[in-house]
Amino acid sequence: MSLTFHEQPPYAATVGDAIASVGTFGTPGEMVSLAFAVHTTEPIGEIAFEAGALTGPSGSIDVGATDVFVVKVWEQAGVGVYQSKPVRVPELLVKDDRRALRDGYRRWCGHWRHLHRRSSYYVPPAVRSVGPACTSLEAGVTKQVWLSVRIPADAAPGRYTGVIAASSHGHLAIELEVLPFALAEPAQDLMMWYKATLDCRLSQHWVT
């Protein structure tokens, strides 16, 4: 088999040794993330990654609580007063990194009251947000795959196991330790400000 799994935790810049499993821990109600790299010695034209349910001593975590993405690497403009050269950045979590992200602007927001308003409104790219994570692999190239697990609030403490399948090219074992306590809710509601969208029908500058 040409496909191998390698250690590459979330946000890690380098790829590590070959692995047979990936694991983490978390508390009920928390979302945890795991990541790993895949490498092939032969080209693979189509490969899909999909995680199953996680089973434990007192029940299971449903497949709907897991989500898989491919980490998209693309070229980003340089930064600084004297702009540096563009760099390749692993920046996006997508369901298919082979699809072009096409965005643009339109002259009307869609609301009838603004039919004659002469403004430009941003149109974001259409992306798939559900289902397996799909990609292709060239010989000798490594890609990172990201797995998120939303631990149910009523999950019993203990060790949960499952697998993430790579089409017909093998699978990687998943190990999740659910801790026997819950995190306290913060006293304040945190938010960040940013230019979210120019569409007047949507939230403009913030997310909770």
pLDDT tens digits, 104-148 = 777 776 777 777 766 677 777 888 889 999 999 999 999 999 999
User: What is the SS3 assignment for 105?
Assistant: strand
- Look at strands 206-207 and 192-193 and give their pairing: antiparallel
157-162 mean pLDDT: 96
Q: Is 105 exposed, middle or buried (0-12, 13-18, 19+ CB in 10 A)?
A: exposed
Of residues 18 and 89, more confidently modeled? 18
Residue 195 pLDDT grade (very low, low, confident, very high; cuts 50, 70, 90): low
Residues 6 or more apart in contact with residue 184 via CB below 8 angstroms? none
Contact 153, 44 (CB under 8 A): no
pLDDT averaged over every residue in the chain: 86
Q: Which two structure tokens, joined as six digits, stand for 29?
A: 């109600």
- Look at strands 171-178 and 104-106 and give their pairing: unpaired
Of residues 30 and 186, more confidently modeled? 30
Rounded CA-CA distance 144/72 in Å is: 8
Vertex 189: Cα angle to 157 and 123 (nearest 5): 100
* CA 205 to each of CA 111, 189, 193, 195, 202: distance values in angstroms, whole numbers, following the listed order: 19, 16, 5, 5, 9
pLDDT of res. 98: 92
185-206 mean pLDDT: 64
pLDDT of res. 75: 82
Q: Is 157 exposed, middle or buried (0-12, 13-18, 19+ CB in 10 A)?
A: middle
pLDDT of res. 200: 62
85-91 mean pLDDT: 83
pLDDT of res. 89: 85
Q: Is 147 exposed, middle or buried (0-12, 13-18, 19+ CB in 10 A)?
A: buried
pLDDT tens-digit map of 21-37? 999 999 999 999 999 99
pLDDT of res. 204: 53
The stretches of 22-70 forming alpha helices (DSSP H) are none
pLDDT of res. 118: 66
